[in-house]
């Protein structure tokens, strides 16, 4: 067998992975587009407080509206960059990369749901809830990567993740409460 014949299966696998990556990018783009439009609609529907003589540049919903517009534009750019004519033609051949990305996505969505429903607003100070969330996210996502690489977790990695989580929780709280003047739950 020649070296050219041996290279063909590798390029087919590379093409499948590239197509899977483009498919994931396109589906993510659709999600970002939908979220951006929903945020923009929500910000437009907010009360403008005109009867309280509020400065138009400080109206509620201005920043979320701008972020919604930015998310919509970036989602559209990502969709345009990842679109190919037969992007979904071979969805039956899922690669292991697809499955790993799906599991990671479900894990992240579960973590976000646990944070929003279980941690925030149930007696914990926000900084502590954010610290727990960030620490858990780091540890669980690293654990999945370590399992695929055959490595094991260590106490040092746990301490590092806890320090990052605690720092993030404190910084997020200070930024929102002191700079943006947002009262956190």
pLDDT grade, residue 3 (50/70/90)? very low
Q: What is the DSSP string of 46-84?
A: S---GGGT--GGG-TTHHHHHHHHHHHHHHHHHHHHH--
Closest CA to 32 of 73, 85, 64: 73
User: Model's pTM, two decimal places?
Assistant: 0.59
CA distance 29 to 23: 10
Task: Considering only residues 21 and 115, tell me which one the structure prediction assigns the higher pLDDT.
Answer: 115
Query: What whole-number distance in Å separates Cα of residue 114 and Cα of residue 111?
Result: 5
DSSP-H helix ranges across 83-154? 96-113, 126-149
**CA atoms of 115 and 140, how far apart (whole Å):** 14
> Which of 69-73, 90-94, 98-102, 103-107 tops mean pLDDT?
69-73
From 41, 66, 93, the end of a domain falls on 93
Tens-digit pLDDT profile for residues 103-143: 888 898 999 999 989 888 888 999 999 999 999 999 998 88
**What domain range is 27 assigned to?**
1-93
Do 110 and 146 lie in one domain? The reply is yes
> Is the domain of 77 the same as that of 122?
no
Q: Residue 2 pLDDT more than 50?
A: no
pLDDT of residue 90: 59
CA angle 179, 182, 185 (to 5 degrees): 135
Mean of per-residue pLDDT scores for the chain: 82
- Is there a single domain that holds both residue 9 and residue 64? yes
Residues 86 and 5 in one domain: yes
What pLDDT does 164 receive? 97
Q: Identify the three-state secondary structure at position 111.
A: helix
For residue 67, the model assigns a pLDDT of: 93
> Of 75, 136, 92, 87, which Cα lies nearest the Cα of 110?
136
Place of tokens 């399992």: 147
**pLDDT tens profile 136-158:** 999 998 887 777 777 777 899 99
* Residue 7 clears pLDDT 50, i.e. is over it: no
Last residue of a domain, one of 66, 93, 120: 93
Give the Cβ contact number of residue 56 at 10 Å: 8
The pLDDT assigned to 4 comes to 46
Residue with the two structure tokens 């997020």: 172
Mark whether 82 and 43 lie in a shared domain.
Answer: yes
């Amino acid at each position: 067998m020649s070296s050219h014949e041996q290279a063909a299966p590798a390029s087919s696998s590379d093409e499948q992975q590239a197509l899977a990556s483009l498919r994931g990018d396109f589906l993510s783009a659709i999600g970002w587009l939908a979220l951006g439009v929903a945020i923009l609609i929500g910000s437009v529907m907010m009360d403008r407080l005109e009867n309280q003589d509020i400065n138009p540049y400080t109206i509620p919903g201005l920043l979320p509206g701008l972020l919604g517009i930015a998310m919509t534009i970036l989602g559209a750019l990502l969709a345009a960059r990842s679109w190919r004519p037969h992007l979904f033609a071979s969805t039956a051949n899922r690669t292991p990369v697809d499955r790993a990305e799906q599991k990671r996505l479900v894990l992240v969505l579960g973590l976000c749901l646990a944070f929003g429903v279980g941690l925030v607003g149930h007696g914990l100070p926000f900084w502590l809830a954010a610290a727990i969330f960030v620490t858990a996210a780091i540890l669980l996502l690293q654990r999945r990567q370590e399992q695929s690489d055959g490595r094991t977790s260590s106490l040092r990695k746990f301490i590092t993740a806890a320090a990052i989580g605690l720092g993030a929780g404190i910084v997020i709280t200070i930024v929102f409460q002191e700079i943006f003047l947002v009262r956190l739950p």
